[in-house]
């Protein structure tokens, strides 16, 4: 026979599952998350007010619907999202059919696993604190869901929550020892090839119109840059990432085509030195101020001045950059590369015709062609975070119909115009802008700072950056992406608070997320263990773990206090006073028998003794005790003080 969980136990299990679902709010579509949470709430209400099992047909329909939603919404996102979504859906369905303590405990246990999968999508301090709160809920639910017992009342909500909080607090020292001493992994255990290609930044090895719209309002930090000396001016904060040279009529690809060629870079100005702390991207690209003069350790510098690491950045990574703002890149362009950067791809006939007219009018005067294109963009086009959809010939639609676009629209159209006019051109993708955190002394670059611009090649100067977005929306370049959303006041309380929180995020990334094998060796060297071998790690783990468990044992294994019963305590106080008056209670005497004997010994106190015994019995064994009756009984006991004289007189009479 299955034992049903108590109402509190079931609701704590449901709350644990709801908290685990909430940890995935960053990447799960809002309507899907709302649907899952609504099912959890409906199941709790159904069990509380109806109490019957959910019909089999309803459960089968929910299973089919959940599987369809998971595959349709998450299969295209990669392995991690689809399997995490399936796990969340199956757990919700498990709660729907839960009717036993065993099933409720399974829901709690696998909710903890679902919470762990959330760290595959983010590892910030808020998520960590929320996970600790979820663990407290899980311990409380497991304490209430004691197996093998009836479904009668347990301790109640407040005691089990305090118990769970105390248990988690006692486990924290051991968790800290395990975090510091456990060997670090070089790569995550779960990563798919499609996720490595797409990454977490919204960028990929393919650029098409509308791609950056998904991150236009996302203020999640991507990386933070700390400069030696003053940071560059806002108009110079171009962080180069990828270079695209192949155009198929709608999208740009071909990133990394010049990776094996050494860059022909001539440095003409001072060199900037800076440190970048980048969050996990699942991509190998390094973002450096345009143009980098050398590659960081573990990366390589390609012929198009892009930098790649040998492996994708699957965790927070710190690297150092050296760049210059005054340079000449590829003063001479090989014939084969020139042909490659003049290919226009199929389609977009009106764009090509317009550019060929410029070519006939200006000939080889490339600067005149560039000026004419920029003049048209400045005069007739609008920069927007919500551009309209384009058709089969997207550049034609953009230039001659909508004339509203985001940065990738302008960069793509400008590069195609240049190529069709005989000017070698390519598209560069990275980040532009960021905001300077005065509290931390670093530049924070957000996902919404993603940007695309164009490079055109001139005889002599080589590749020159031409940003058509700067022509149509100068504030986007001078003041950053946030200016387009209404601006911000750097002195306002919200901005100051944001800076402080960003500083917390920087510290958390450096101290916790980026705590890798190198950080572990540096920490061990500071405590006198320069060689962090497996023996030293095992020694610290075992000794520290035993010490942490010993402290937890000393603090945790204390005698459990029984719940205070004020009525029983008041009656015992009355019995002690009767004992001092010469009438101790016998172990086998109930309240009525004891009162009868005490009344015979103390006849002057007989009415009060009988009244106390009757009131105690009524309060002690009643189904419901009112606070007013209990307090009245306690006041009567406090006033009950049998006198010595009455005791002596009673003994003589007996």
Alpha carbon separation from 409 to 149, 179, 467 (Å, rounded): 66, 46, 12
Number of Cβ within a 10 Å radius of residue 291: 23
Give SS3 for 496. Answer: helix
Question: β-strand 425-432 against 450-458: which pairing, if any?
Answer: antiparallel
pLDDT at 192: 45
Number of Cβ within a 10 Å radius of residue 268: 10
Indicate the domain borders of the chain.
Answer: 7-154, 206-485, 566-653
pLDDT at 64: 84
pLDDT at 465: 94
**CA 44 to CA 50: how far, in whole Å?**
10
Give the residues of the chain that fall short of pLDDT 70: 1-4, 6, 73-80, 147-156, 183-202, 213-214, 216-217, 255-260, 476-496, 498-499, 514, 516-519, 522, 527-528, 530-534, 556-564, 623-625, 644-654
pLDDT at 325: 93
293: tokens are 């003069």
* DSSP codes, 140-162: HHHHHS-TTS-SS--S-HHHHHH
Helix 591-601 and helix 606-621, axial crossing angle in degrees, nearest 10: 170
**CA 567 to CA 551: how far, in whole Å?**
37
pLDDT at 556: 65
- Residue 406's beta-bridge partner residues? none
pLDDT at 483: 55
Of the candidates 566, 565, 617, 621, the residue with the CA atom closest to the CA atom of residue 592: 617
pLDDT tens figures, 590-632: 899 999 999 888 888 888 989 999 989 888 877 666 777 888 8
Give the pTM.
0.63
Q: 470: which DSSP letter? A: H
CA dihedral sign, ordered 406, 407, 411, 414: positive
The residues, ordered by sequence, that sit 6+ positions from 72 with a Cβ below 8 Å of its Cβ are none
The residues, ordered by sequence, that sit 6+ positions from 596 with a Cβ below 8 Å of its Cβ are none
pLDDT at 150: 40
For residues 512-539, b (16+ Cβ closer than 10 Å) or e, as one string? Answer: ebbbeeebbbeebeeeeeeebeeeebee
* DSSP codes, 632-648: HHHHHHHH----HHHHH
Of the candidates 93, 121, 111, the residue with the CA atom closest to the CA atom of residue 25: 121
CB distance 329 to 265 below 8 Å: yes
Of the candidates 53, 55, 151, the residue with the CA atom closest to the CA atom of residue 101: 151
User: Which residue has tokens 């390094």?
Assistant: 286
478: tokens are 């001078």
CA dihedral sign, ordered 209, 210, 211, 215: positive
Question: β-strand 462-466 against 435-437: which pairing, if any?
Answer: unpaired
**CA 602 to CA 595: how far, in whole Å?**
10
**CA 492 to CA 484: how far, in whole Å?**
18
Question: What is the number of helices (H) and of strands (E) in the chain?
Answer: 23, 20
Main-chain phi, psi angles of 624, to 5 degrees: -130, 130
């Amino acid at each position: 026979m299955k034992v049903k969980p108590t109402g509190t136990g079931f609701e704590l299990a449901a709350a644990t599952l709801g908290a685990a679902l909430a940890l995935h709010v960053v990447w799960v579509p809002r309507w899907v998350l709302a649907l899952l949470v609504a099912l959890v709430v409906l199941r709790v209400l159904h069990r509380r007010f109806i109490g019957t099992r959910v019909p089999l047909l309803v459960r089968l329909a929910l299973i089919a619907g959940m599987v369809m939603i998971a595959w349709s919404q998450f299969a295209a996102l990669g392995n991690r999202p689809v399997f995490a979504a399936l796990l969340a859906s199956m757990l919700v369905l498990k709660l729907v059919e839960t009717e036993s303590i065993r099933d409720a405990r399974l829901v709690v246990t696998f909710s903890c696993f679902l919470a762990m999968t959330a760290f595959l999508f983010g590892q910030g301090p808020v998520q960590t604190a929320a996970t600790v709160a979820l663990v407290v809920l899980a311990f409380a639910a497991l304490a209430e869901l004691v197996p093998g017992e009836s479904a009668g009342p347990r301790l109640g909500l407040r005691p089990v929550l305090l118990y769970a909080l105390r248990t988690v607090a006692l486990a924290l020292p051991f968790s800290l020892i395990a975090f510091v001493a456990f060997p670090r992994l070089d790569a995550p255990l779960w990563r798919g090839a499609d996720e490595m290609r797409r990454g977490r930044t919204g960028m990929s090895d393919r650029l098409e119109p509308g791609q950056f719209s998904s991150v236009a309002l996302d203020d999640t930090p991507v990386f933070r840059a700390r400069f030696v000396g003053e940071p560059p001016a806002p108009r110079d904060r171009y962080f180069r990432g990828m270079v695209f040279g192949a155009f198929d009529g709608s999208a740009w690809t071909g990133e990394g085509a010049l990776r094996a060629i050494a860059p022909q870079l001539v440095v003409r100005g001072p060199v900037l030195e800076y440190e970048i702390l980048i969050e996990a991207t699942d991509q190998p690209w390094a973002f450096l101020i345009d143009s980098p003069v050398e590659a960081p350790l573990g990366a390589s510098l390609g012929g198009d001045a892009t930098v790649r690491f040998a492996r994708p950045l699957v965790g927070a990574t710190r690297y150092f950059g050296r760049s210059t703002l005054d340079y000449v890149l590829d003063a001479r362009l090989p014939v084969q590369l020139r042909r490659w950067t003049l290919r226009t791809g199929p389609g977009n006939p009106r764009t090509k015709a317009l550019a060929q007219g410029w070519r006939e009018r200006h000939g080889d005067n490339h600067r005149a062609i560039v000026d004419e294109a920029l003049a048209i963009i400045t005069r007739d086009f609008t920069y927007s975070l919500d551009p309209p959809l384009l058709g089969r010939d997207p550049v034609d639609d953009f230039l001659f119909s909508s004339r509203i676009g985001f940065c990738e629209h302008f960069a793509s159209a400008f590069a195609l115009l240049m190529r069709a006019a005989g000017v070698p051109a390519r598209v560069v993708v990275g980040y532009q802008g960021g905001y300077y955190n005065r509290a931390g002394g670093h530049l924070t670059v957000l996902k919404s700072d993603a940007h695309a611009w164009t490079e055109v090649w001139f005889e002599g100067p080589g590749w020159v950056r031409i940003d058509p977005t700067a022509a149509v929306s100068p504030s986007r370049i001078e003041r950053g992406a946030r200016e387009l959303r209404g601006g911000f006041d750097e002195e306002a309380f919200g901005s100051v608070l944001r800076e402080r929180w960003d500083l917390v995020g920087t510290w958390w990334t450096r101290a916790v997320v980026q705590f890798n094998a190198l950080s572990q060796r540096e920490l061990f060297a500071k405590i006198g263990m320069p060689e962090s071998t497996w023996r030293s790690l095992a020694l610290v783990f075992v000794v520290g773990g035993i010490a942490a468990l010993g402290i937890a044992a000393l603090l945790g294994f204390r005698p459990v206090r029984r719940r205070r019963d004020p009525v029983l305590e008041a009656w015992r106080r009355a019995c002690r006073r009767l004992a001092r008056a010469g009438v101790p209670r016998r172990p086998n005497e109930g309240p009525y028998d004891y009162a009868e004997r005490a009344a015979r010994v103390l006849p002057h106190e007989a009415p009060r003794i009988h009244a106390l015994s009757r009131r105690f019995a009524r309060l002690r064994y009643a189904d419901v005790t009112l606070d007013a009756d209990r307090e009245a009984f306690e006041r009567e006991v406090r006033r009950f003080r049998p006198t010595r004289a009455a005791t002596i007189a009673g003994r003589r009479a007996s």
